[in-house]
Structure 1
Amino acid sequence: MKTTERKSAAYISYFFILLFCYAAFSKCYDFEDFQVQIAQSPLLSAYAGFVSYAVIVAELLIVILLFVPRTRMAGLYASLAIMVAFTGYIYLILNYSDFIPCSCGGILEKMDWTEHLIFNIACVIIAGAGILLIGGAVSLRRRMMMILLSVIVSSGTVTLLFLRSEYIIKRQNNFTRRFLLHPVLEDQSVKLDNEQYYFAGSDHSHIYLGNKHYPQTLVTLGHNLAGIKKLKMAPSDFNHTFRNLQVQVKGPYYYLYDGTVPVIYRGKLGNAAPKTISYRDAYFTQLIVLDSIRFALRTQSKADKMFTIARLDLTRRPKVELYPGILEKQMDGVFDSDGKLTSSAHSDTLVYAYTYRNTFLIMNNQLELKRKLHTIDTTTVAKIQTGSQSNGTHKLIAPPLKVNQNISANRNLAFIQSDLMGKHESVNAWKKAKVIDIYRTDKQEYIGSFYIYNQGKNKLTDFIVTDHYLFAIVGDQLVRYTYRKPITKYFKPGEAENLSKE
């Protein structure tokens, strides 16, 4: 080999030695952050624990191979292979991912993804040139074949990792969250007069708030968080002993109710005097308005005291019909079946998310169970301990493991606030925010996750999703978030209808 070629090959080796040394030590220096970033990768999230170590080890081994003259050719082939893998990774991220994480180290974090792709392609060319320059006794044709084989094997491996990781994340999740790239952006907020508000409903132009401390108050404001109006609801027959008075809006009416009485009032929006439409028809713990005369309830069966889904129809006799087969008993049929019932806007779907297990149920307005879907955590059986009291009631005797904190649904997506931390997630981030996981309701599929950050010391207490915005109550702040991809496509009527038929 000529002296010039020998020097060029040496310079190429030194370049990769510096590159991989710098990259490996940068990752080691901030290993926790590197591992978290790997966990967010759509290609590698299912293998984050192994890959985070393997990449560093591989880079250091390549450095050793390149440093020793007798193994320099093997080091250049390894450099070529790993740079092809990195290049394929970025190509898939840019073209087949709705979100773009970062798993680089050091100076490469200063590059955008297009610049990073160009840099990697240049490194592939440099590694190939080094192999051709060193050559030795191996023929040029053989070296070209080896280069081609390295490219095929590396790119094929990355593609298989991508496909397999997609399958694990969406079908066989091992509880590795995938955080989407800015799926919602905070763009507006308004200060409320106290911290006790909750969402009572929404329509195409307004959102409605109830208040735990002032249950007869209904607040209306526009999607632009302007034009706040308060309505003091005053039913004529209001002489009951209320324990849990709540309000819910489904235009053009609002409904004031307490399942412990039990009573339901209905009033026209803007009218402060609702009328009693149901009294002592059914005791209930949760209510969802289906229409002006029909309601989905969560109640307790008289026969076995277990939580049961029921329907109240004011035009039928009997008015109440129980659906005991929907909620599944695991231990006591009460705490293990606890959860939140909600309706999906712009569809005839009802969703029930269990609090203490990784399951949510999809029903239609006729209360027919259509699907039993799962969240990404692995808590299939509620982890609770209950004890019997002398009066025959049960109570929790140890802190339970809470899985799902809250839920809101729109079209064919369910947004579930989770209480469980996944693998490789930042403890610091969990102290500053609450996490929302997004799922399809028309089939088993996890879309991704994002954070709703605290406002000072105040944390998320309630949220609601509409076609254009996510609204959140964080302490005494009402915050509006606008959607970005990959959420917006699910809320376009045409696309959402096509997706629901998949």
Structure 2
Amino acid sequence: MKKLTIYFPTGIAYFFILLFCYASISKIFDFENFQVQIGQSPLLSAYAGFVSYAVIIIELLIVLALIFTNTKRLGLYASLGIMVAFTVYIFLILNYSEFIPCSCGGILEKMGWIEHLIFNIVCILLAMVAIIILEKEKERRLAHYISLMISVIIVNIGIVTYLFFSSEQIIKKENNFTRRFLMHPTLEKKQLQLSDSYYYFAGYDDKNIYLGNRKFPQTLLTLDTALAGKRVTNISLDNIKHPFRNIKLQVKAPYYYIYDGTVPVIFRGRLGNPKSKTISFNEAYFNQLIVLDSLRFAIRTQSSKTKQFVLADLNLNSAGEKLTLYSDILQKQIDGVFDIDGNFITDGFRSQLIYTYTYRNQFIVMDKDLKVQNQMNTIDTVRIAKIESKRLADGIHKMSAPPLKVNLRSAVHKNLLFNQSDLMGKHESKKTWQEASIVDVYKTDENEYIGSMYLFKKDSHGVSDFIVTDKYLYVIIDNKIIQHQFTKPITKYFISGEAENRSKE
């Protein structure tokens, strides 16, 4: 028994020396990967930079404390504390996390989460027994070292629990540009080869998705939602003498709309019928258009007075003034043109309009009457557009230096904004960034970041367009359209209810 009291604490000290040496050294040699994995932890994402260094430093300090006789007692208490912290972390991961992340280096890579939880509990018990034997050998009072062990346990439980709740708040509400990648948010189901790489999404309904073509702008391609059947419509215009420069196509059942804001003209035809008729001519120049109903549109135009981009309502049903400008929605920072450039989209399910700035971390949520409901931020930190532009004598603005793009394109459906970002966040893999596009997901009714997903390149080609429906994310990459089915990490955030009737007009 006496030998046990002499050798057991020393043996446990050697065990922890080997354990923490192995764990810390393995993290150091694969530090970038370790930091990326910590960044994807649902508990520690917001503190990935600090925690990744702190864990290694603490493990090495514990090793030093355990080596020397005078500090062995301190090292055992520290070993108890860190093993309690690791155990609480795994318990929270298994029971309160939205998903189970990948391993974080060291021995954890060799074990499953449950096995590691059991291993940690055994380590805690060994540390406690070693401390009790050592304290008895020094003839310290039982109440003293029991209360000290309890204090160490409570403090470490409190630290990990605090990190968990505060990290969730920071990631979802006050993000410091740390992405959290959702676990399998989509499953790739099907691919379809397109005739060329000039297609873009023009709209969708319950049965079909519709594509326009930049090279052949009067071509409407209709695909069923399963990508099994397709139909090509070659649209004819009732007036082809306009000086067209930028013809685009949009579908809102039961009609399709073909338009060019540089003329400006809008044609409308019924789906299935190739003949379209002019419904608007010379009423408003525009560079972006959203169909609200059969004769009403939300547009982005340029003010003749200020030369700045503004949003507007074009109502062809109006007996009086058809165009109403809303000059206070888009906020100027530099030139009122490039600095407020962005992507104007609609959520047909909720009749919401979303404007996502291209060069800064902000998007605006509006109702169909262009009344601002929310102004929210994407998770990057670019609040002021980083552009340089000059206004020429004729009033035209031109870029004088390459700009920093923040948001490339976006889609919105059922209360969720899917935004393709052009910036790499903290603690992300550079290799993966080069192989995939990043889509960040946000709620549109409150300031909350849901998570991110990868859309991997095909044959070195990246995403050129995407659209979101109830069940699927459709992506165009080069001359392919890929169907991804949403899984629970996304669908659980979709709002319920009935979509607006797309065929009532």
- TM, length-normalised to structure 2: 0.95
For structure 1, which segment, 169-178 or 212-221, has the greater mean C-alpha deviation from structure 2 after superposition?
169-178
Matched, 1:230 2:212: no
Q: How does 1:2-401 map to 2 (within 5 A)?
A: 2-135=2-135, 136=137, 137-316=139-318, 317-401=320-404
Q: Does the residue aligned with 2:363 lie in a helix, a strand or coil?
A: strand
The share of aligned pairs that are identical, in percent, is 55
The answer on whether the counterparts of 2:222 and 2:231 sit within 8 Å (CA) in structure 1 is yes
Q: Give 1:397's aligned amino acid.
A: S
For structure 1, which segment, 107-116 or 435-444, has the greater mean C-alpha deviation from structure 2 after superposition?
107-116
1:182-226 C-alpha deviation (Å, 9 max, x unpaired): 222222211211111111111223211111111111111122221
The answer on whether the counterparts of 1:200 and 1:247 sit within 8 Å (CA) in structure 2 is yes
Alpha-carbon offset, residue 100 of structure 1: 2.9
Aligned equivalents of 2:497, 2:148: Cα separation in 1: 49
The answer on whether the counterparts of 1:100 and 1:180 sit within 8 Å (CA) in structure 2 is no
Aligned equivalents of 2:142, 2:191: Cα separation in 1: 66
Q: Give 2:331's aligned amino acid.
A: E
Q: In 2 relative to 1, CA 40–315 (structure 1 residues): closer, same or farther, beyond 3 Å? A: same
The answer on whether the counterparts of 2:349 and 2:498 sit within 8 Å (CA) in structure 1 is no
Aligned equivalents of 1:276, 1:494: Cα separation in 2: 35
The answer on whether the counterparts of 2:235 and 2:276 sit within 8 Å (CA) in structure 1 is yes
Q: In 2 relative to 1, CA 494–133 (structure 1 residues): closer, same or farther, beyond 3 Å? A: farther
Q: Does the residue aligned with 2:263 lie in a helix, a strand or coil?
A: coil
1:92-115 C-alpha deviation (Å, 9 max, x unpaired): 222222233335213421323222
Corresponding residue number in structure 2 for 1:465 = 468
Aligned equivalents of 2:117, 2:281: Cα separation in 1: 67
Q: Any gaps of 5 or more consecutive residues in structure 2?
A: 500-505
Q: Any gaps of 5 or more consecutive residues in structure 1?
A: 497-502
1:122-162 C-alpha deviation (Å, 9 max, x unpaired): 22222222222322322333332222211111011011112
Aligned equivalents of 1:292, 1:402: Cα separation in 2: 34
Q: Does the residue aligned with 1:337 lie in a helix, a strand or coil?
A: coil
1:307-358 C-alpha deviation (Å, 9 max, x unpaired): 0100111110211111111011111111111001000131021000000111
Q: Does the residue aligned with 1:150 lie in a helix, a strand or coil?
A: helix
Aligned equivalents of 1:340, 1:423: Cα separation in 2: 25
For structure 1, which segment, 440-449 or 130-139, has the greater mean C-alpha deviation from structure 2 after superposition?
130-139
For structure 1, which segment, 367-376 or 234-243, has the greater mean C-alpha deviation from structure 2 after superposition?
234-243
Q: Give 1:80's aligned amino acid.
A: L
Alpha-carbon offset, residue 57 of structure 1: 0.8
Aligned equivalents of 2:290, 2:63: Cα separation in 1: 63
The answer on whether the counterparts of 2:390 and 2:398 sit within 8 Å (CA) in structure 1 is yes
Q: In 2 relative to 1, CA 258–466 (structure 1 residues): closer, same or farther, beyond 3 Å? A: same
Q: Does the residue aligned with 1:336 lie in a helix, a strand or coil?
A: coil
For structure 1, which segment, 478-487 or 75-84, has the greater mean C-alpha deviation from structure 2 after superposition?
478-487
Q: Does the residue aligned with 1:341 lie in a helix, a strand or coil?
A: strand
Q: In 2 relative to 1, CA 385–492 (structure 1 residues): closer, same or farther, beyond 3 Å? A: closer
Q: Give 2:235's aligned amino acid.
A: M
Aligned equivalents of 1:97, 1:211: Cα separation in 2: 44
Alpha-carbon offset, residue 238 of structure 1: 2.4
Match of residue 410, structure 2, among 407, 410, 413? 407
Match of residue 489, structure 1, among 479, 492, 497? 492
Alpha-carbon offset, residue 265 of structure 1: 1.3
Q: How does 1:446-461 map to 2 (within 5 A)?
A: 446-461=449-464
Corresponding residue number in structure 1 for 2:444 = 441
Aligned equivalents of 1:186, 1:121: Cα separation in 2: 40
Q: Give 1:409's aligned amino acid.
A: V
Q: Does the residue aligned with 1:455 lie in a helix, a strand or coil?
A: coil
Q: Give 1:400's aligned amino acid.
A: P
Q: In 2 relative to 1, CA 267–114 (structure 1 residues): closer, same or farther, beyond 3 Å? A: farther
The answer on whether the counterparts of 2:220 and 2:233 sit within 8 Å (CA) in structure 1 is yes
1:74-104 C-alpha deviation (Å, 9 max, x unpaired): 1111111111111111222222222333352
1:230-249 C-alpha deviation (Å, 9 max, x unpaired): 11111222222211111111
For structure 1, which segment, 159-168 or 280-289, has the greater mean C-alpha deviation from structure 2 after superposition?
159-168
Root-mean-square deviation (CA, aligned residues, Å) is 1.7
Aligned equivalents of 1:115, 1:275: Cα separation in 2: 69
Alpha-carbon offset, residue 54 of structure 1: 0.9
The answer on whether the counterparts of 1:201 and 1:208 sit within 8 Å (CA) in structure 2 is yes
Alpha-carbon offset, residue 495 of structure 1: 12
Q: In 2 relative to 1, CA 114–269 (structure 1 residues): closer, same or farther, beyond 3 Å? A: farther
1:147-180 C-alpha deviation (Å, 9 max, x unpaired): 2211111011011112222222233322121222
Q: Give 2:63's aligned amino acid.
A: V
Q: Give 1:461's aligned amino acid.
A: S
Q: In 2 relative to 1, CA 109–495 (structure 1 residues): closer, same or farther, beyond 3 Å? A: farther
Aligned equivalents of 2:131, 2:250: Cα separation in 1: 71
Aligned equivalents of 2:273, 2:342: Cα separation in 1: 33
The answer on whether the counterparts of 1:98 and 1:485 sit within 8 Å (CA) in structure 2 is no
Q: In 2 relative to 1, CA 495–272 (structure 1 residues): closer, same or farther, beyond 3 Å? A: closer
Aligned equivalents of 2:260, 2:498: Cα separation in 1: 39
Q: Does the residue aligned with 1:491 lie in a helix, a strand or coil?
A: coil
The answer on whether the counterparts of 2:43 and 2:97 sit within 8 Å (CA) in structure 1 is no
Q: In 2 relative to 1, CA 339–125 (structure 1 residues): closer, same or farther, beyond 3 Å? A: same
Q: Does the residue aligned with 1:401 lie in a helix, a strand or coil?
A: coil
Q: Does the residue aligned with 1:126 lie in a helix, a strand or coil?
A: helix
Alpha-carbon offset, residue 400 of structure 1: 0.5
Aligned equivalents of 1:492, 1:375: Cα separation in 2: 20
The answer on whether the counterparts of 1:38 and 1:102 sit within 8 Å (CA) in structure 2 is no
Alpha-carbon offset, residue 281 of structure 1: 1.4
Alpha-carbon offset, residue 492 of structure 1: 5.0
Q: Does the residue aligned with 1:290 lie in a helix, a strand or coil?
A: strand
Aligned equivalents of 2:204, 2:33: Cα separation in 1: 39
For structure 1, which segment, 475-484 or 377-386, has the greater mean C-alpha deviation from structure 2 after superposition?
475-484
Corresponding residue number in structure 2 for 1:499 = none
Aligned equivalents of 1:116, 1:186: Cα separation in 2: 32
Aligned equivalents of 2:469, 2:67: Cα separation in 1: 59
Aligned equivalents of 1:81, 1:473: Cα separation in 2: 51
Corresponding residue number in structure 2 for 1:500 = none
Q: Does the residue aligned with 1:379 lie in a helix, a strand or coil?
A: coil
Q: Does the residue aligned with 1:422 lie in a helix, a strand or coil?
A: coil
